[in-house]
Amino acid sequence: MKNSRLFEILYLLVEKRAVTAGELAERLEVSERTIYRDIDALSAAGIPVFTQRGQGGGIRLMDQFVLDKALLSHAQQDEILFALQAILATGGGAEEETLARLTALFRREGTGWLEVDFTDWGSGAVERENFALVKGAILARRPLSFTYYSSAGERSRRTVEPTRLVFKGGCWYLSAFCQKRQDWRIFRLMRMEDLTAEEGACPTRRPPERLEAPPSPEYRGVELRLRFAPAAAWRVRDYFHPKEITREPDGCLLVACNFPEDQWLLSFLLSFGSQLEVLSPAYWRKLLAEEIQKLSAVYET
């Protein structure tokens, strides 16, 4: 609250050049004594603020500081505003007010050319609520409990010490210290349910520098050769790197890739339906054929 009030005071001083302690106290709904303590705090932080007695006096900023906003080029001002717009996409409410104030301070009118939304089409409310809860737990350094579904289809209840949110590969991930595993783990937000911020405080820990999932002791990778029908081209471009894709004269796409062998891979390949043929390895051709037979049997009954 105090930091927000200090920013409000600084914002008003930059805009109005001079304002009385009474005006600030009324605006911020605090006592004049609190305002003077805030002025001391700004001064201690190196802000050139001073008080002037007499008619036309009040609390002022040195003229040079008033002009500091002009030391930023228009491009730099735009970069700051665009960065705040991106932060707003994560559900930050306080940043919206900051964005409005800085836009007025810079006297810049938004062109509306940039809109950032990290949610999937047709979704949003639940994802934003979960994101806000995780974000709040990180900032408050509170443990977080949730039900998690792994890529192997396993369901478990976890309590973690959350430290960092990362947007990577089109998805949000949480980097956290897992109390169950007693090690750092990565959790995909879309697979987290029934989130609860627990009481207490998280101990200070240094998170890993990079977001890398620890290899499972049972990890097995498989080299796949896949052929996709032309109609699946848009999905192929979404999921695979251009270097993994070779286009054939008939428009089909050949893909050579490596994936971990788990339940997710099976469901991923099946999601392409008749638009995909697994060329190799042979046992994966057999695996998909058996799964398709099981699926067919479901609809024959």
- Asked if residue 175 lies in contact with residue 186, where contact means CB atoms within 8 angstroms, the answer is yes
Q: What single-letter amino acid sits at 246?
A: T
Q: Which of 74, 72, 47 is nearest to 60 (CA)?
A: 47
**Average pLDDT of the residues in 126-142:** 85
Tally the domains of the chain: 4
**Residues 69, 104: Cα–Cα separation, whole Å:** 11
Query: Average of pLDDT values for 123-152?
Result: 84
Show the beta-strand stretches assigned E in the chain: 18-19, 49-52, 58-61, 144-149, 155-168, 171-178, 183-188, 192-197, 221-228, 245-247, 253-260, 276-280
> In the prediction, which pLDDT does 277 show?
96
User: Looking at the predicted structure, is the pLDDT value of residue 78 above 80?
Assistant: no
Give yes or no: residues 159 and 92 share one domain. Answer: no
- pLDDT tops 70 at residue 1: no
Segment among 9-13, 119-123, 151-155, 224-228 with least mean pLDDT: 119-123
Q: Is residue 94 part of a domain?
A: yes
Domain with residue 27: its CATH number is 1.10.10.10
Say yes or no: 51 and 98 in one domain: no
Residue 177 confidence (pLDDT): 94
pLDDT of residue 212 exceeding 90, the answer is no
Residue 180 domain-assigned (yes or no): yes
pLDDT value at position 269?
A: 93
- Residues in a beta bridge with 276: 228
Q: How confident is the model at residue 93 (pLDDT cuts 50, 70, 90)?
A: low
Q: What is the pLDDT of residue 13?
A: 78
Same domain, 233 and 286: yes
* Mean pLDDT to the nearest integer, 136-147: 92
Is residue 206 situated within a structural domain?
Answer: no
Instruction: Indicate if 227 and 285 belong to the same structural domain.
Output: yes
Q: Are residues 256 and 296 in the same domain?
A: yes
When pLDDT is averaged across residues 56-78 and rounded to a whole number, the result is 60
Percent of the chain with pLDDT strictly greater than 70: 70
CATH number, residue 193: 2.30.30
Residue ranges making up the domain that contains 92:
72-106
Rounded to the nearest 5 percent, the helix, strand and coil shares of the chain are 45, 25, 30
Q: What is the mean pLDDT of residues 71-87?
A: 58
For residues 12 and 66, give the distance between their C-alpha atoms in angstroms, rounded to a whole number. Answer: 11
Asked whether the whole model's pTM tops 0.85, one would answer no
